[in-house]
Chains A and B, each alone.
Chain A
Amino acid sequence: MSFVEYSDFIQDGDVAIVYLSHDSMMPVKVQQGAQTQTRYGVIRHSTDLIGQRYGSKVTCSKGGWVHVLHPTPELWTVSLPHRTQILYTTDIATITMMLELKPGSVVCESGTGSGSLSHAILRTIAPTGHLHTVEFHQQRAEKVAEEFQEHRVDHLVTVRNQDVCKDGFGVTGVADAVFLDIPSPWEAVKHAKAAMKRRGGRVCSFSPCIEQVQRTCETLAEEGFQEISTMEVLLRVHDVRTVSLPLPDFGPDPSEPDTEREAPTTSGPTHAAVTLKTTTPPREIPGHTGYLTFATKPRT
């Protein structure tokens, strides 16, 4: 297992995702002799996980069962331990495409936060790219570096514990893309520019408030960035349901005497209804995550 390479069987030391239901998943660090408690009972790693195929069904002690899935950045995003507010897959997907990330891209990111986006970047830029990520919170920086190691992607990433607004990204002239998710991105725009390749590249800033966007756009324009564009992407999940719509009873129809005579004798008061497959929106949906501002650094 690695977050950038599939394998078929679960091995000691892997991180596996235990799938309980569509809204309940947990990451498990597979260790010989270890046990994991779920609401369906206990999972014994040595017998239930190690050597099993990813995707297989595991029966727990209480008779319930779960599926064990190969980790992906998307599954990690919905199961990771939060240390900060995180970016979700919808925004991550947009960021990845709009920053034109691909194998070999060199990317700068700040802040690292809980590493949700970092894992997705690493997946996309492997095996030849590199991520330089900056997190000013020491404990978070250490924790995320530890995770990168556990997930076997540490060869693709450098974590720096410094303040990006003051000290920049720790690299200059190397990045194809820069991503900013910090409270005052306009203070880091200069550093972003310095970190990027001379030939140019793409930059993205994620901000929840429009005032932040305003200041960032102004600074980007001042620094000579082009194609400045702000957008917002929201996910709509559709619940597939079978619904039943009853038909009203209009009473006996005198124009059709035949059916009138037969109907009451066979079924009495009928409750006719039409069932159909449809979708319903969830009662509440996330209405706003953040504004995504993209820009191109021209060649300098």
Chain B
Amino acid sequence: MADHEDDDYQCRIKEGDYVVLKRGDIFKAMQIQPRKKVIFEKQWFFLDNAVGHLYGATFEIVSGGTLQPEKPKDTVSSDGSKEAGTDNRNIVDDGKSQKLTRDDIETLKEQGLKGQQIIDQLIKNSSTFRDKTEYAQDKYIKKKKKKYENTVTILKPSCRILALMYHGREPGKICHMRYDTLAQMLTLANIHAGSKVLVFETCAGLVLGSVMERMGGYGSVIQMYPGGGPVRAGVESFGFPAHFHDMLHEFPICHVNSLLAGTLDTTAKDTNTDETKSNMAAEEEQNQPEADEQGSMEQQNMEINTGDETGQDQEKTRKEAKAQEKKARLEEKRKKLAAAAALLEGRNADGLVIASRFHPCPVLMGLLKFLSPSRPFVVYSQYKEPLIECYTKLREHGGTVNLRLTDTWLRHYQVLPNRTHPVLLMSGGGGYLLSGTTVAMDRSKPAGSQQAEEPAPKRQKLTDTEG
């Protein structure tokens, strides 16, 4: 097929790649770095051996490194005899069915036995295994596999995998947004290539990254951020190609008011004093130890070499260089701000996505002003009440239609011969969404006019009959 060679290159794990480790339903995002110790699911290993293998490959962990095992595995236990009971009337829980003690199992592990071999030993030494029903045997093996099989699969990151990972691992970091809720947001906001999308999120960059994935590097994303700088840890995990970052812009939310009022001056360097100061302070702190070292070295040199003057000169040039660097950084920052401001000033954005720990109401009312008419917006909140307030405010204010306050209900199923049933009920905890579409504001009667939209027919009828 046509895609062979080119395909192979793309499919292989490379050094520096962002990957996701998987075992069972557990995921962990990682960057492949040489000789870096990785801890995953109570085991440590190095990812060096994975380089050059294909994405999706499963590795068995042996002491200290990784090794590729044969891919096709026998799903049935290697214990050939297929004996099984029909019911559990004779199975007594006396706690003695397993003849191996904990110490025995530990020694098996120390001998370096593979997971499958330990499981076989456990089955062999279980007096009740043969009496269990076929289904119970299956379940037993599955449970033991989970415990003793020390394999890890390496996947290419995607919105699906990272959303699953964050929800399973660190739901607090993403405001408890469930992956199906994120899916709804991307669709309801009509995220697609070529549009100009505003994102305000405090979900570690997961929402931002998902929006960027759906835009494929076409169009522009403006991240509105609170505080000193945008949080993008989650974006890194996506491992986007470099050109994706060309479409990403940032704008501090603390400048929204001045931008809307037209008083934001992006030419003066004191526009972003607060955050640059704090940023610079942080950077200086980081640089400090190094600087100190240099300083003391220079002092030594001074003493050995000559008089004070040359030393002072050195000191001077160093300071100047540093100031120059600072200036360049400031200039860079100013340019970025100006670029983002220019994108926003047209007030013609194509979509708005909000998912944060902040009260959504002021955020929504503030950022909605940057959207063109007839564009979708979505607001996420972990709680329903603030979205009720948003809904009410929007109704009073006008300028939107198609408002819906929703949440989704997700259920997974176990599908096995004669054992199909729902596995897990996940209601609540997934968060709520308020979505809608902007429309042109009616200038003649700004407030209240929209309100009549729905209840109107009923009331009119009522007055008609009464009158």
Contact = CB atoms under 8 A, between A and B. Distances in A.
Asked whether A and B interact, the reply is yes
Interface of A: 4-6, 8, 19, 21-22, 53-57, 67-70, 72-75, 89-90, 92-94, 96-98, 100, 102-104, 120, 123-124, 126-128, 172-174, 197-200, 210, 213-214, 217-218, 228-240, 277-279, 291, 293, 296, 298-299
B440 A56 contact: yes
26 contacts: A4-B193, A21-B454, A54-B373, A55-B372, A55-B373, A55-B374, A55-B375, A70-B374, A72-B190, A74-B188, A93-B180, A93-B183, A96-B186, A103-B216, A126-B192, A172-B1, A197-B7, A213-B413, A213-B420, A230-B413, A231-B411, A231-B413, A237-B404, A238-B384, A277-B392, A293-B415
Nearest to B10: A199
Nearest to A220: B415
Nearest to B192: A123
A237 B195 CA distance: 28
Interface string B174-194: 000001101110111010111
A288 to B, nearest CB: 10
B439 A67 contact: yes
B11 A100 contact: no
B66 interface: no
A19 B402 contact: yes
Interface stretch (B155-163, B290-298, B337-345): B155-163
A67 B408 contact: no
Contacts of A89: 184, 187-188
A299 B54 contact: yes
Nearest to B395: A240
Contact of A100 (B3, B159, B401, B408): B159
Interface string B397-410: 00001111111111
B408 A233 contact: yes
Nearest to A72: B190
Chain B CB within 10 A, most for which of A70, A120, A228: A70
B225 interface: no
A69 B1 contact: no
B415 A217 contact: yes
Contact of B216 (A90, A128, A174): A128
B44 interface: no
A22 B190 contact: no
Contacts of B401: 19, 22, 67, 69
A269 B16 CA distance: 77
A74 B11 contact: no
B438 interface: yes
A176 B225 CA distance: 34
A97 B158 CA distance: 9
A213 B407 CA distance: 25
Given A4-B192, A55-B373, A231-B411, 14 more contacts: A53-B440, A56-B373, A93-B186, A97-B159, A97-B186, A104-B216, A126-B192, A230-B412, A230-B413, A232-B410, A232-B411, A233-B410, A234-B411, A240-B392
A230 B412 CA distance: 6
B6 to A, nearest CB: 10
B190 A53 contact: no
| 5 pairs of A and B residues whose beta carbons are closest in the complex | A55-B373, A103-B216, A55-B374, A93-B187, A97-B183
Contact of B190 (A54, A73, A97, A98): A73
Given A94-B180, A126-B192, A228 B376 contact: no
Nearest to A236: B407
Given A19-B401, A57-B440, A198-B7, A102 B216 contact: yes
Contacts of B184: 89-90, 93-94
A238 B390 CA distance: 13
A240 B374 contact: no
B19 interface: no
Contact of B163 (A97, A200, A229): A97
A62 to B, nearest CB: 13
Nearest to B8: A199
A22 B436 CA distance: 10
B91 interface: no
Nearest to A89: B187
Nearest to A218: B417
Interface string B432-454: 10000111101000000000011
A237 to B, nearest CB: 5
Contacts of A238: 384, 405-407, 432
A21 B432 CA distance: 23
Nearest to B376: A72
Given A6-B375, A277-B388, A298-B56, A236 B159 contact: no
B61 interface: no
Contact of B440 (A22, A55, A210): A55
A127 B194 contact: yes
Nearest to A71: B374
Contact of B454 (A22, A68, A293): A22
Nearest to A298: B56
Contacts of B213: 102
Nearest to A2: B194
Contacts of A199: 3, 7, 10-11
Contacts of B7: 197-199
A114 B11 CA distance: 36
A224 to B, nearest CB: 9
Interface in B190-239: 190, 192-195, 213-218
A55 B439 contact: yes
B4 interface: yes
A103 B215 contact: yes
Nearest to A211: B420
Nearest to A25: B402
B350 interface: yes
A126 to B, nearest CB: 6
B46 interface: no
Contacts of A57: 439-440, 442
A128 B215 CA distance: 11
A124 B413 contact: no
Given A67-B439, A238-B407, A197 B3 contact: yes
A298 B58 CA distance: 11
Nearest to B215: A103
B242 interface: no
Given A6-B375, A55-B438, A126 B193 contact: yes
B2 interface: yes
